[in-house]
């Protein structure tokens, strides 16, 4: 038996967060059962309240959290709290952090991902020293998990890493926008020219040909167009090299976002824990849960 853990709707502990309603219906149809937790109580470190309505399992159950992103500490609290109810999440806290924080898995994927460096010391001297390593190349800025890509010009993209004024302006705006949501530290990544898809209809950021690949037990279980906008056309994905890298990823359930460069080469944009990775609107959610069930039942 596999139990899916969703977030409740805030206003009613018996009602699921609306963004996950369709997923829940698909999961039920594929034979899963579910429990709801309070995300708000969890991030307030009130674990007992967060899990108040999670019924304990009589025998050990496998759990899969499908909800909003958590910090490693918040995930640790969720993992420990569910374990007391005889529910063991598919990824332990170390495995969660391994794919959630880019620096934790960078050494494994660096042959297929843009050059990156990072710091937790957010002073100008440290930040400029990181930028110098890229020479005059364009870079993007993010934290250990997320970027401000929808504020592309002001808080994400730096055309020339040696331009200290631009580096400072973009980094300062990025830190301002992330606020209390800043994850751990700052990451610079070399900007790669990717195959253009379209411009985002609202933010006007460039959308490129990217795909989200879900893995369970080191096997590909689903592949989705990353963006719901733009014409992807027919693309044959050759995943052999990525599947080979996946064998070294220290996680049972994770995502690998891949993209095509303008020269045709495919690269890894980033990894993510599969439990907090969103499904695009174009996703066949029933097939997604069917693939999870079939793959995990084989293990």
The pLDDT tens digits of the residues spanning 134-171 come to 999 999 999 999 999 889 999 999 999 999 999 999 99
For residue 284, pLDDT beyond 90: yes
Instruction: Say what the pLDDT of residue 9 is.
Output: 94
Structure tokens at 238: 């050759």
Residue 290: CA atoms inside 13 Å, Cβ hemisphere, count?
A: 6
Cβ-contact 203, 150 below 8 angstroms: yes
Residues 212 and 233: their CA atoms lie apart, in Å, by: 16
Q: Kindly tell me if the per-residue pLDDT of 203 is higher than 80.
A: no
Hey, CA dihedral for 63, 65, 70, 74, is it positive or negative?
A: negative
Average pLDDT score over residue span 197-222 = 85
Once rounded to an integer, what is the mean pLDDT over residues 105-133?
A: 96
| CA separation for the pair 289, 276 (Å, rounded) | 15
pLDDT confidence band for 282 (50 / 70 / 90):
confident
Rounded to the nearest integer, the mean pLDDT of the chain is 94
Res 229 pLDDT > 80:
no
Per-residue pLDDT, 230: 67
Q: pLDDT confidence of 199, banded at 50, 70, 90?
A: confident
Exposed / middle / buried, residue 152 (Cβ in 10 Å: 0-12, 13-18, 19+): middle
| β-sheet bridge partners, residue 189 | 116, 140
With pLDDT > 90 as the criterion, what percentage of the chain qualifies? Answer: 86
Tell the burial category of 177 from Cβ atoms under 10 Å away from its Cβ (0-12, 13-18, 19+): middle
21 confidence band (pLDDT: 50, 70, 90): very high
Per-residue confidence at 299, pLDDT binned at 50, 70, 90?
low
- 8 A C-beta contact, residue 196 and residue 182: no
Average the pLDDT over 233-239 and give the result: 81
For residue 291, which of 60, 32, 21, 6 has the smallest C-alpha distance? 32
Cβ contacts of residue 239 below 8 Å, gap of 6+?
213, 220, 223
pLDDT band per the 50, 70, 90 thresholds, residue 280: confident
Q: What is the pTM of this model?
A: 0.93
Query: What is the pLDDT at residue 196?
Result: 82
Give the residue with greater pLDDT, 47 vs 230: 47
């Amino acid at each position: 038996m596999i139990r899916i853990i969703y977030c409740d709707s805030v206003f009613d502990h018996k009602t699921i967060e609306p963004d996950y309603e369709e997923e829940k219906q698909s999961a039920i149809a594929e034979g899963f059962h579910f429990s709801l937790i309070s995300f708000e109580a969890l991030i307030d470190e009130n674990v007992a309240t967060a899990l108040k309505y999670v019924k304990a399992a009589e025998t050990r159950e496998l759990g899969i959290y499908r909800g909003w992103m958590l910090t490693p500490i918040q995930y640790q609290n969720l993992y420990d709290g569910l374990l007391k109810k005889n529910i063991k999440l598919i990824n332990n806290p170390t495995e969660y952090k391994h794919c959630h924080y880019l620096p934790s898995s960078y050494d494994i994927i660096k042959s297929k991902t843009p050059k990156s460096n990072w710091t937790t010391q957010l002073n100008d001297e440290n930040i400029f020293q990181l930028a110098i390593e890229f020479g005059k190349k364009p870079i993007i800025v993010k934290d250990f998990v997320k970027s401000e890509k929808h504020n592309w010009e002001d808080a994400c993209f730096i055309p020339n890493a040696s331009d200290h004024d631009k580096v400072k302006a973009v980094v300062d705006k990025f830190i301002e926008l992330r606020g209390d949501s800043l994850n751990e530290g700052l990451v610079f990544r070399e900007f790669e020219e990717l195959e253009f898809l379209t411009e985002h209809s609202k933010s006007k950021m460039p959308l490129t040909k990217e795909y989200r690949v879900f893995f369970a037990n080191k096997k590909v279980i689903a592949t989705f167009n990353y963006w719901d906008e733009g014409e992807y056309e027919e693309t044959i994905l050759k995943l052999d090299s990525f599947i080979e890298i996946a064998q070294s990823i220290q996680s049972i359930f994770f995502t690998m976002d891949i993209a095509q460069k303008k020269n045709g080469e495919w690269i890894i944009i980033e990894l993510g824990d599969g439990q907090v990775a969103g499904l695009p609107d174009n996703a066949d959610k029933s097939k997604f849960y069917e693939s999870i069930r079939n793959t995990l039942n084989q293990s």
